[in-house]
Structure 1
C-alpha cells in the first residue's frame, strides 16, 4: 500500500538514485563536449570521468546508511571527498559547465546526512571559500554572480537531501508509533481482562476454598453442617461460573459502529481510501456483533493479503459487503480467520462468502459478503 514505510523508503531512494544517474549522464556529455572542443585531452577527460563515477557510485551507499540508521560511512565519505577534489582539479569550474559546485554540493549532501550539522556547515563554508574565487578567476564571472551561484548549490543540494532523509525518518517514526499504540492497546485490554477475572473470581474462589476445607473437617463430626457448607460451595461455584461467562461474553462482543470507524481509520492510515455506507439502526445487538466480527476479519484480510488502494464497505438490511482492489491473482479463501468467521455466521443462521471477483487481473478485486438475520 502506498503509505507503507518500506514503499516510501524505496520511492525516496530510487528517486535519489535516478537523480544521481541523470547527473552522471549529464557530466558524461559535458566531458565529451570538452574533449570535442579541444578544451581538455581525452586522457584527462577519462580520468575525470572515472573519478566522478567513483563519487556517484558511492553516494547511494552513503544515502542508504543514513536511511537505515547504520554506522557513519566515514570511509565512503573520505573516498568520495578525495574523488571530488581530484575531479575538480582536473576540470575546474568555468570550463564549459559548472563542475565544481555540483560535485562538491553532492559530496556535501552526503556529509549533511551523516554528521552533525555544525560539521556540514563548516565544510560548506570552506568549500565556498575555495569555489567562489576559482569560479571568478577561471570563468571571469562577477564576484556577486559567482557567490550566488556557487553558494546556492552548496546550500540547496545538501538541504534538499537532508529534508528527504528527515521525511523518511518522520514516516518511519509515525509507523513505529502506530505499532506501539496497537501493542499498548492489546496489552491494556489483556490487563483489563485479567483484572476483571481477578475481581470476579478472587473472592468467590477464596470463600469456596475456605468452605471446602471446613466441610472436610466437619464431614466426620457433623455431617449435616458439612452438607450445608458443600451446598453453599456449589452455589458459589455456580455464581462464579456465571460471572466468568458474562465477562467473557462482554469481552468477545464488539460495537459495530466503533469497529467501522476503527477499520476505516486503519485502512486509510495504511494507504487505502475507504468508504463506508452503513444502515445499522434496525439491526439487533446479536446481528451487530456478528457483522462487527466480519468487518474486523475483512480488514485484517485486506491488510495481510492485498496491496489495496481502495475499499468499499456497505451494510444494508443485515448484509455486509467489503470490496477491495489490489489482489494479485487467484488466492485461497479458506484461511483460519475466514473459516472461523464462516462457521460463526452459519451457526447464527447467516451466510458468508469470500472470493476474488477478477482472478485474471493483476490487481483484481476481492469481495467479502456476510449476511445475518436482521
Structure 2
C-alpha cells in the first residue's frame, strides 16, 4: 500500500511540474499546490495503518488531510479541454475519500461519498462545460471504485490477520494440551503413591511406641513406595514412560499440521539401538515444542538418517542460538552418552536443530 501511495504521489507531482513548465500554473501556485499534495500524501500511510488496525473513529488528521485535498483541488482545477488537470483534480479528492470511508459507519460513508462526488462533478461540469449527465457517472464510478477497493483491501487484511491469529491459537492449544498430558501423567503416577505414603507414615507414627516392629515395617513400605515413585517420575520426565520414535514422529506431524505448519518426515532408523531411538524421540518432541512456541512456521522438515537428526523450519521470530532450558537439558543428555546437539538459525533464514547420537 505504501508503494502505491508513493507511485501516485510521484505521478501527481510530475503532473504538477508539467503544468508549471507549460505555464498553466504560476510558480507560486504550483508551490502551494505541491504543499497541499504533501499534506495529503505524507499522513496518508499513517491513516491507513490506524484504519487497518481496527475500527477507529474520525480524527483531526482526516480534517487536516481533507483541507489539504481541498487546497489541491482549488489550486489545480480541471483543464478546459478535460486534459491531465481534470484527472489529478479528481484523484486527490477520491484518494482522501477512500481513507475517510474506513473511519465511518456505512451510512456516514455513503453520505460523505455522495457529497464528494457531487462537488467534484459540479466543479468539472462548470469548468469544462461538459453536461453533468456525462460527468456525474464518470466521477461516481471512479470514486466508488477507489473507495470500494480500499475497503476490500482492509477486509482482506483483517481476514489474513484473523487466520494468522487462529494459527497462533492452535499452536498455543497444542502446547497447552501437551502440558496437560504431562500433568495428568504425573498425577496418575504420584497421586496414589503419595496418598499411601501419607497414610503409612501416620500409622507408623501412631505405632512407634505401641508396636515398634510393625512401625518399622510400615516405614520400610514407605521407603519402598518413595523409591518406586521417584523411579516412575524419572521415567516420565525422561520420556513419558519411554517414547517410541515413530509414534512421536506421527504425533509431532499431527500437532504441527493442526497448527497450520506443513510437516514432512523422512526417517531411516534401521540399526538404531533402543536408547538412541528414545533420545531422538525426545529431541523430536522438544524441537516441535520450540517450533510451536517460538516461530510462525509454515513448513517443517524432519530428516533422520541413522543416528543423525535434522529438523528445519521457517518463520523464525529471532535468534535462538542460546537455546532454552529444554535444549540445554537435551544437550547435556546427548553429551553424556557421547552424542551432540546444536540449534540455531541458518544462512537461509531457517532454524536448524541437529542431533547426533551413537547408533
Tell me the TM-score range normalised by the shorter chain.
0.7 to 0.9
* Runs of 5+ unmatched residues, structure 1: 1-15
Cross-structure match for 1:261: 253
Rounded to whole Å, the distance in 2 between the matches of 1:76 and 1:190 is 48
Q: Is the CA contact (8 Å cut-off) linking 2:174 and 2:255 kept in structure 1?
A: no
RMSD: 4.0
Q: Is the CA contact (8 Å cut-off) linking 1:268 and 1:274 kept in structure 2?
A: no
Change in Cα spacing, 1:89 to 1:68, as seen in structure 2 (3 Å) is: same
SS of corresponding position for 2:77? coil
| 1:24 equivalenced with 2:9 (yes/no) | yes
Which string of whole-angstrom CA distances, capped at 9 and with x for unpartnered residues, describes residues 208-243 of structure 1?
222222222222122233233333333433443344
SS of corresponding position for 2:209? coil
* Residue number among 82, 85, 107 corresponding to 2:96 in the alignment: 107
SS of corresponding position for 1:92? coil
| 1:58 equivalenced with 2:47 (yes/no) | no
Q: Judge which range, 213-222 or 24-33, deviates more.
A: 24-33
* Residue number among 176, 190, 205 corresponding to 2:194 in the alignment: 205
SS of corresponding position for 1:320? strand
* Residue number among 122, 129, 140 corresponding to 1:151 in the alignment: 140
Q: Is the CA contact (8 Å cut-off) linking 1:263 and 1:295 kept in structure 2?
A: no
**Larger RCO: Structure 1 or Structure 2 (Cα < 8 Å, ≥ 6 residues apart)?**
1
Cross-structure match for 1:5: none
* Runs of 5+ unmatched residues, structure 2: none
Change in Cα spacing, 1:284 to 1:94, as seen in structure 2 (3 Å) is: farther
How high is the TM-score relative to the length of structure 1?
A: 0.75
1:34-113 alignment to 2 at 5 Å?
Answer: 34-69=19-54, 72=57, 74-94=59-79, 96-97=83-84, 98-113=87-102
Cross-structure match for 2:222: 233
Q: Judge which range, 170-179 or 281-290, deviates more.
A: 281-290
| 1:168 equivalenced with 2:157 (yes/no) | yes
Change in Cα spacing, 1:121 to 1:293, as seen in structure 2 (3 Å) is: farther
* Residue number among 307, 326, 345 corresponding to 1:318 in the alignment: 307
Rounded to whole Å, the distance in 1 between the matches of 2:176 and 2:290 is 22
Q: Is the CA contact (8 Å cut-off) linking 1:313 and 1:323 kept in structure 2?
A: yes
Q: Is the CA contact (8 Å cut-off) linking 2:266 and 2:304 kept in structure 1?
A: yes
SS of corresponding position for 2:107? helix
Q: Is the CA contact (8 Å cut-off) linking 1:204 and 1:240 kept in structure 2?
A: yes
Q: How many residue pairs are counted as aligned between the two chains? A: 349
Q: Is the CA contact (8 Å cut-off) linking 2:331 and 2:340 kept in structure 1?
A: yes
Rounded to whole Å, the distance in 2 between the matches of 1:66 and 1:18 is 17
How high is the TM-score relative to the length of structure 2?
A: 0.77
Q: Is the CA contact (8 Å cut-off) linking 2:170 and 2:258 kept in structure 1?
A: no
Q: Is the CA contact (8 Å cut-off) linking 2:269 and 2:304 kept in structure 1?
A: yes
SS of corresponding position for 2:104? coil
Which string of whole-angstrom CA distances, capped at 9 and with x for unpartnered residues, describes residues 147-204 of structure 1?
3431222122222222333333333333333333333333333333333333432333
Which string of whole-angstrom CA distances, capped at 9 and with x for unpartnered residues, describes residues 22-52 of structure 1?
2222222322333344434333332222222
Q: Is the CA contact (8 Å cut-off) linking 1:62 and 1:73 kept in structure 2?
A: no
